[in-house]
Structure 1
Amino acid sequence: MDGVIIDSEPIHVKLEKEIIEEAGGDYAKLKPEDFMGTTDVQMWSTIKEQFGLKLSVEELINICRERFIQTIPQIPLVDNVLDFMAALRNNGYKLGLASSNNERAVETVRNQFGLDQYIEVFVNGEAVSKGKPDPEIFLTAAKLLGLQPEDCLVIEDSRNGVLAAKAAGMRCIGFQNKNSGRQDLSKADLIVTSFKNLTIEDIKNLLNEPL
């Protein structure tokens, strides 16, 4: 979702910097791109331990969630993503969203942008025990869609997400979002910089389907 459907990574970075510095940590010592694609618990547990923050992981998560949800109305969609999803649906593809973000954030984005008309299955980071780069979230989404992993194609903007997709045995398109940091997407089967450059023929080729 983040960085692929909504262009939210700059907001995440801004909020995380504010919260870490308010809590007594030094944001400059972190690489925010390392946390993209991971769950809230994974990220804030690491940050709390690194800086010895007094706030609990749960408190840090709740502060960040509340601030993020308040900003969702200001976050833009990624260019051309709705047109691309509509084209996929019109060509008979099933769509699922597998986001490491929490349930409330996913539901807020789902309702804000009317994603139900494109996406059948929504899986959030709280529905799985292991975050990306573990493949659990993608395997869960595939099961809910009634599909085998080898019949699935993932679009990801983060290194952790690409690794999770490949670990799940799925094809993967790396979406190079300039706002997602310098992510290593080299393990992806195809890398694109815009949904304008991605066609149904590309999807069919990656899934070895007849054109």
Structure 2
Amino acid sequence: MKLPQKIECVIFDMDGVIIDSEEIHKKAYYETFESLGLTVSDELYKSFTGSSTINAFQRLVAHFNIDENPEELVLDKRKRYVNFFENDPNLHLVNGVEEIIKYLYQKGITLILASSSAMINIDRVFNRFHLNSYFTAKISGADLKESKPNPEIFNKAAVLGKTPKENCIVIEDSDNGIKAANDANIFVFGYANKLSEGQTLKEANCVIHNFSELKSFI
């Protein structure tokens, strides 16, 4: 797929693209796994990247054939995540992302957040780092019928951005998210975040290693 001639809307993933929260998500997940007495392989855990928490726990319950309510497991994991989020003073935005957000905003480009995280977690990040004023809309994949790699979230993002897909781009750090963008027929940049474990980005239309690279495209 070719880069849009005119980019009018940029759709951001959050975890691993805007905020380096992958590590605290992992800690919260593994605390939850341990509380259940489960040994989750790296391969299985990496397959959850980019999908919603409810989707991850539905798959986990099915994989281990355990008698647990996935929705209750989501709440348990969320409490653990909040504890890490609120008590980790080192939690920070991805290097260079605040600058590129402001750059795009000043150019009059519509910004949409399309994350698999729950809206309560999205708001927690956006409020802590004062990002709300730059974004036209925020979408939580947890509120949709299907999780990434299903394209539903990006189809909705383009609609909320009031922009034809051929004038949109997506920025993702996970293979599940990239597949969702591909299936939505939206050009996708893969952001190579070193903390996003096991992600190949091989299906991305273009891979970037820092956000300053985007300026040469937009």
TM-score of the aligned structures, taking structure 1 as reference length: 0.91
After the TM superposition, list the runs of 4 or more consecutive aligned residues in structure 1 that deviate by more than 4 angstroms: none
The corresponding residue for 2:16 is 3
Q: For 1:107-118, list aligned pairs within 5 A.
A: 107-118=123-134
Give the equivalent residue in structure 2 for 1:164: 180
1-structure distance, mates of 2:175, 2:47: 8
The correspondence for 2:112, drawn from 82, 91, 96, is 96
Q: Work out whether residues 116 and 147 of structure 2, in 8 Å CA contact, stay in contact via their aligned partners in 1.
A: yes
- Asked which structure has the greater RCO (Cα within 8 Å, sep 6+), the reply is 2
Contact kept? 1:157, 1:180, Cα under 8 Å: yes
Tell me by how many angstroms 1:29 deviates. 6.2
Query: Residues 1-211 of structure 1 correspond to what in structure 2 (within 5 A)?
Result: 1-28=14-41, 30-73=43-86, 74=88, 75-199=91-215, 201-203=216-218
Q: Which runs of 5+ in 2 are unaligned?
A: 1-13
2:95 aligned counterpart, secondary structure: coil
The residue identity in structure 1 corresponding to 2:217 is: D
Which is helix-richer, 1 or 2? 1
Output the CA distance in 1 between the equivalents of 2:198 and 2:177: 14
Q: Give distance in 1, aligned partners of 2:213 and 2:95.
A: 11
Mapped contact 1:26–1:51 kept (Cα < 8 A):
no
Alignment deviations for residues 153-185 of structure 1 (CA, whole Å, 9 cap, x no partner): 000000000111111111110001010012121
Stretches of structure 1 that go unaligned for 5 or more consecutive residues are 204-211
CA contact (8 A) 1:23 1:55 kept: no
2-structure distance, mates of 1:133, 1:27: 21
The percent of aligned pairs where both chains have the same amino acid is 35
